[in-house]
Every structure is written in C-alpha cells, then in structure tokens.
Structure 1
Amino acid sequence: VGDDENDGGDADSAMGELFTCPAGRDKPLRRVLDAGTGTGIWAMDLADLWWLALVLTAADEHPETLITGVDLSPIQPVFVPPNVTFYVDDLEDEWTYSYKFDFIYGRMLTGSIADWPRFIRQSFEFLEPGGWLELSDILLDLKSDDGTVTPACAAQKWATHMLEAAAVWKRPLDSCKFYREQLAAAGFKNIKQEIYKWPSNPWPKDPKYKELGMWTYENLGNGLSGLSLALFTRALGWSPAQLEVFLAGARKDMRDKSIHGWWPIYVVYGQKPG
C-alpha cells in the first residue's frame, strides 16, 4: 500500500514521514501526545520539524507545538528540545491530563495494552474536536508473495507461539487487526487503515526495501531472546535451553534471503468529530 499523497512544502513533506494521517494540515498542532514514547526519538524528531518549519516560514504561521511523551520506562534523554516534555506514566491508568491534544500517536504498542477499547476511548476523550489518533503496529504473521514462507518456517512458528503466549497473558499481539473497528466504536470518523509490507531481511532488490529489511532483522532478529523469554517460559512453560535451541532456527530463517518474507505493518487512524 502506498503512502498518502502529500502536497506540502519541505517541512510538511518531512513531517509526513513521521505519521500518515492528515493531522496538522487543516489547523496547527498545538499539543501532541506520543503514547509509549520509548527512547523519545519520535517526539524529538517531530520537535525538530517544528523548528525547521519556524525557520522556513513566518513564526505566526506555526504556533509552538508542545509535545508530551509518556512511557513506563524512564529511558528518554535528559537534554531535549524546549517544546518536548517526557513523563513516566502508565497509559492503562485513568488519564488525568489537564489539557487535550490535537494529535495522539502510538506505535508498536501491541502487547503492552490489555484493554484496547479503553485506551482508544480515553484517546477520544482527550482529543480536541477535529483531533486525530494514529496507531501503527506490526502483526506477527510472516507472509510471502511467492510461497517461500511455508508451514515449516521456524520464523513463522515463532510468531505463532508468540501470539499464543500473549493470549495466555491477555496482552494480545494481534491487536492491530481490530483497531479500525475499535476506533469506529469509540466515535471516530474519517477512519483509514493501511497495511505496509516490511521485509524480514535484506532480500528485496529495491535499495529502499533492502535497507528496510536490514533494519527489520536488526531489530527483530537480534532481539528475539529478549522478546521471547518471558512469554515462552512463563506462559508456555518452555525451559530457557529449549527456547534458545528453537530461537536459533527462527533466526536462521529470518536471515535466510531465499525466504522472501514480510511482516504486515498496520497503520490505522481516525478523527474526532469537530
């Protein structure tokens, strides 16, 4: 699925790479919530784009965008742009912000939220009229267009076990399949779902997708032990030794360039009526 067309200037085009929805096109983004900010890189990149827009255009055309990043882990940098604030908080608790947002963005939150309808309802409540919510997540279901991902593929077996284990813990890893319906149930309009293909390793010939595949394997393949240990040992009852033998096979298939696998990336967004 291709990117949405973006007719803006340099700053707007660059901003389009950070999110997909039309947030900021019809009115300035005064407050943005980065839900599950992690290292804070997205929030700081968005802040940098605001400063770039300020340099390229008149200041009164770009009122200051205040960006709030929230995460359970205090792993964000100490020195940040002046319009970025980070808080350690649990997104599953009752939200108590004293203000509302023009845009709420969440990426790779699957597995960290138990009650997605509640999270989406709270997002709706804390958006300004006309504000946008965008969610971006991977679906652990390795696919191929040429049949090279077979039922015997260890990488796909790993994904299947991850889904099973997450279901036991009631932290679903297939949450992205339901975002569209959940946004509609919460009252959002102008809902759109896009599914992108992320190569599992650098198998594509196209340089852009080859690089994307390289980073996908770096992040997923090299992080398998950390991603899998608790789920496999506690939810499925595997021993650590049994898991490591299994993961060796999964890594082998993940980096095998003859397996033309891709992970579905769901991007779903909607607008609060205004």
Structure 2
Amino acid sequence: MGASIASSSTSLSSSILRYREENGRTYHAFREGRYVLPNDDVENERLDLQHHLCTLTLGGKLFICPAGTGEPLGRVLDAGTGTGIWAIDFADEHPEIHVTGVDLSPIQPSFVPPNVTFYIDDLEDTWTFQYKFDFIYSRMLTASISDWPKFLQQSYDNLNPGGWIELLDVHLKLQSDDKTVPADCALKQWGDWMLEAAAKLNRPLDSMTFYQQQLIDVGFTNVTERIFKWPTNSWPRDDRHKELGMWTFENLGNGLSGLSMALFTRALGWSPEELEVYLTDVRKQMRDRSIHGYWPLYVVYAQKPGGS
C-alpha cells in the first residue's frame, strides 16, 4: 500500500503532498485528474458536514449492513476516506477494531485514534494490502472510479470469507413524486449536465444504479439495496425529511461551485465565469420550496460467502 500519512513528511514523495490549483480551487496532484472534486478547506468542511447528513440519514449509524453482528470485526477498510471523519468515528466507537483509510489526498488529521492508519494511494491500482478485511466501506466514490467491476472484484478478493461491503452514493438525477419540478428546471438540468460531464471523463456519476447487479456478478451474496431521499430543501412536511432537506441544502447548496467546477470546465468547456452565473439560477431553485424535488441516496451492501 502507498505512503502512510503518519510517516514523516520527508518520506512522502512530493507528488503526494503537492496540490494543484485550478480556477481558484486546489485539487490533488498525486494521480492528477482522477478525482474531480477539490481538496481545499472549503470542500473539506463540506465533506465533514456531509458526514453528518449521511449518519442522520442512516438513523445515527455509520453503516447499516450486518457487519459485526455475527463474527466480530478485526479489520475495516474505509475506501476513499477523504478527511477521515468516518474512519475516526468508527475507530472511536470500536477501539478493538483496526481501521485503514485510503485516499488520493493527504487531508486527514495527524492525531488520530491508535487503531486508525491512513494511507495515500490510488484505489484504481492493484491493491497490495498485507492483510484482508472483515468490512469494506465506500461512501461517495461515484465519479472517482472508472472501472467499478474491477473495484468490486478487488474488494471481494480483499475480504475475509463472511466479510461485508457497503457502498453509499447519491444520484444527482433530480426526482419528484408530485410533478412539481418544471420541465425547464435549472436544478434538474444541473444534475443532468453533471452526469453528462462525468460520463465524458469516464468517471460515471450514476454508478450506484449498477452496484446491486455488479456485486452479484462478482459473487457476493445477501445483496441488499436501500434507497433514501435527500430533499432539496426543507419543503417536506414530516420532521425527518424536513431536517434531511435542511442539511442537504447546506451540503449541496453551499458546495455547488466546488462540485461543478472541474466537471463543467474540463468536460463541457464552460468558463468559470459562465458556470458561476448559471449556478445563481440553480441555487435560486434549490431554495424554492414549491419545487418538491429530492435526490435518491443509494445504500447497497453485500456479503462474501463463507465464514462460520
């Protein structure tokens, strides 16, 4: 596996530590271009807010699959750990379990629980872990992986028999159950263009719609798909979805520029100025409580056969 974040900075290659600036945002330099979102402080704060939104969606849980309910967990992999917040929370809750977090960007904190190790590496390369895992967790990796069957096969190969995998991703194709999304809706159009741009870069943003079948194809069993709703704002009447909508608005509304910049400028040929003007309309519609839109959040989990 790649360089440990706990290593001294002198032992980490400059390509791993270096950032690249583009249109006023910074991006990872290691394996440049493979991840389309920024890695600066603004984005990292959004990722931590998104962590709260995800756990809120799952009823306060870090994951929902049955991992650990039979055989105790020994090792857990957080694939695409980002700021490391999920790995750290998991490690704090389970001090007897070792958590490995892997990401392209060295944006994880230096002081972490003793049962956490962060590595900077590319999950699209061949995995070279010295041990296997009992649980692999992947959150918001859509648009980060070009070959999902390979990723899922490597996950399968690196799980102990009876081990679990759980994947969580949001689908940006805006939905509505009461037809309140107008045909010319800029908010819906934004999601469609995000999907188009990601496809052009071979970084599909709709990967979650294929997880269930791809997990079956690899050989996983007990494959389960659950779909939650992230409302665009606080328009829902019920308290649970109203709260989810408030946090979704904070997460995506405040992160629109960072989420969109690389995809629109690299794949669609927009200028940063054109994008910011367009996003003004998108934000306006995100605030519109008469538009009862939501984004589907997919949680798909499965088990490797075997074990006791």
TM-score (norm 1): 0.88
The aligned amino acid for 2:129 is Y
Cα separation, 2, equivalents of 1:258 and 1:162? 23
1:206 Cα deviation (Å)? 2.5
Q: Which residue of 2 is the match for residue 248 of structure 1? A: 280
1:222 Cα deviation (Å)? 1.0
Q: Which residue of 2 is the match for residue 21 of structure 1? A: 65
Cα separation, 1, equivalents of 2:278 and 2:247? 22
Cα separation, 1, equivalents of 2:279 and 2:125? 34
After TM superposition, which residue ranges in structure 1, 4 or more long, deviate above 3 angstroms?
none
Q: Which runs of 5+ in 1 are unaligned?
A: 1-13, 52-63
Aligned with 1:134: secondary structure? strand
The aligned amino acid for 1:105 is Y
Q: Percent identity?
A: 67
Aligned in 2, Cα 1:88/1:185: closer, same or farther, shift over 3 Å?
A: same
Aligned with 1:211: secondary structure? helix
Q: Which residue of 2 is the match for residue 75 of structure 1? A: 107
Aligned with 1:68: secondary structure? strand
Q: Deviations over 1:16-72 (max 9, x none)?
A: 711111000001110000001111111111112114xxxxxxxxxxxx210001111
Q: Which residue of 1 is the match for residue 44 of structure 2? A: none
Q: Which residue of 2 is the match for residue 271 of structure 1? A: 303
Matches within 5 A, 1:20-99: 20-51=64-95, 64-99=96-131
Aligned with 1:192: secondary structure? strand
1:259 Cα deviation (Å)? 1.1
Aligned with 2:88: secondary structure? helix
Q: Which residue of 2 is the match for residue 188 of structure 1? A: 220
Aligned in 2, Cα 1:149/1:50: closer, same or farther, shift over 3 Å?
A: same
1:241 Cα deviation (Å)? 2.1
Cα separation, 2, equivalents of 1:234 and 1:50? 41
Aligned with 2:109: secondary structure? coil
1:150 Cα deviation (Å)? 2.3
Contact kept, 8 Å, 1:15 with 1:46, in 2: the verdict is no
Contact kept, 8 Å, 1:106 with 1:134, in 2: the verdict is yes
Q: Deviations over 1:198-250 (max 9, x none)?
A: 11111123333222111111111111111111211221112222212211111
Q: Which residue of 2 is the match for residue 137 of structure 1? A: 169
Q: Deviations over 1:131-179 (max 9, x none)?
A: 0011000011111111111221111000000111111100000000000
